Structures are given as C-alpha cells and as structure tokens.
Amino acid sequence: MLGLTGAGPTRATFRAVSTAVAVVAALALVLTSCAAGGTGARDEGPAHADSVGAGAAPSTSATASRTPDRVDAVRLVKADARVSAEVKRELKPCAGDEYPVDVSYGELTGTSADDIVVNVLTCGDAVGVGSYVYREEDGEYHNVFQAEEPPVYAEIDRGDLVVTKQVYEKGDPVSSPSGENVITYRWSAGRFTEEYRTHNDYSNAVGGDPAPAPADG
C-alpha cells in the first residue's frame, strides 16, 4: 500500500500481476484436487466455514454482561421517609441538573434484581453525608441499610457491603482526617450484619514539613 502513494507500478502492471496470480492459484487448485481423489476443494474450504456457522457463538457474546436497569436515585432518596431531613437538604443540584450522588449496582441481598447503593455527597468538598442500600421487592425498592454519620461512603466489594467512615480528631480540617474505620457487612437472615471492621490511622508526616537534619559533631 505504501507504493500506491508514490511513483510505483502502473494500473496495467497491477492488472497483469493479478492475472498471473489467478492462473497460478487455479493450477494449484487442480493439482490438489487430483492428489486428493477429486475432493480436495470440498474438504479444504466449505467444511471449515460450516463449523464456524454451526458451532459456538463468538466468545464476546458468551461473556457479555447484563446491563442493570437504571433508577432515578435522587427521586428514590427524596421519597424515602427514612432519610433524614439534613441529607435531603444536601441533595440539591451542584451545577445545572447534576446532583452530588454516587450510585452502584450489584448483588448484595441475593435477589434476582441488582441492589442499589447510593451515596449522597456535599457539593463543595464531596464529603459523604449519607449512604443507603435499596433492595427490590415486588417491583419496588426498599431501604434495607443506611448510615448518616458523615463522612461516610459505602461500596460493593465481592458481594459484601463495605462502609468507610473517616475519623476526625479535634482540630482536624475536613480535608485531613486522622484515620478511618472500614466496616464490612454481609446480608444474613433478611438484614445486614457486621462481619468485621478495621481501623487505619493516617500518617501526619505525609505532606508535612521535612524533619530537620541532624547537627554535626
């Protein structure tokens, strides 16, 4: 193809070469047919094509995942009587019609429909003020979990509900908590029960002033 952009062979030359190639290919086909008892062309070509058409579908269709049904998470939270008035006040557009919510879909409670995890954030600094899990029952979504002690954030992790709560000590700015509690919940007997929790302390040295060099002598 690179030759076509420069002063390469003429169209007549390409036509002559194509004709020669076609003659050679036809001769080879005849020889192959004779060597195989007259069935060479049928055995080598259509049989392979039939196996593709009648065999398994391409791997992409076998591994395609189902797209979950999207819900109006903002309307879901606003209509939920269990959600506090404070959280509902935070649930307002930050710009245009963009609401500060993060929504995740996945299997948490063992139903055929995806469960929905909704995190409500603040517009300014994206601090989580409420986390909720909604479970589909008889065509309606019901609140089966909520945490409204900010900062809080909930996620789906391999079938478990993982809730992270940042910990602040006196004097900590919003952007720099002292640590976090990570709590893992699992659905059991119709409700979420705590499986285990971990606590992580953040290093105060990160982003701070470098330590002074030792004095000589």
Q: Which range in 15-24, 27-36, 199-208 is most confidently predicted, on average pLDDT?
A: 199-208
Of the pLDDT bands very low, low, confident and very high (cuts 50, 70, 90), residue 68 is: low
Of the pLDDT bands very low, low, confident and very high (cuts 50, 70, 90), residue 18 is: very low
Residue 54 confidence (pLDDT): 43
Q: Residue 106 above 60 pLDDT? A: yes
Of the pLDDT bands very low, low, confident and very high (cuts 50, 70, 90), residue 34 is: very low
- Given CA atoms 27, 31, 34, 36 in this order, what sign does their dihedral have? negative
Average pLDDT over residues 7-26: 41
Tell me how far apart the alpha carbons of residues 133 and 143 are, in angstroms, rounded to a whole number: 6
Residue 90 confidence (pLDDT): 87
Identity at 117, one-letter amino acid code: V
pLDDT, one tens digit per residue, over 164-208 is 999 988 888 877 889 999 999 999 999 999 999 999 998 766 554
Q: Residue 29 above 60 pLDDT? A: no
CA–CA distances in Å: residue 175 to residues 113, 166, 167: 37, 11, 11
Give the mean pLDDT of the chain.
75
Q: Which two tokens stand for residue 76?
A: 């879901």
Q: Residue 7 above 90 pLDDT? A: no
Supply the pTM of this predicted model.
0.63
Among candidates 140, 113, 112, 144, which has minimal Cα distance to 131?
A: 144
Strand ranges (DSSP E) for 28-178?
101-106, 115-121, 128-137, 140-147, 152-157, 160-167
Of the pLDDT bands very low, low, confident and very high (cuts 50, 70, 90), residue 110 is: very high
Domain ranges for the chain: 73-201
77 and 88 Cβ atoms separated by less than 8 Å: yes
- Judged by average pLDDT, the poorest of 27-31, 144-148, 206-210 is 27-31
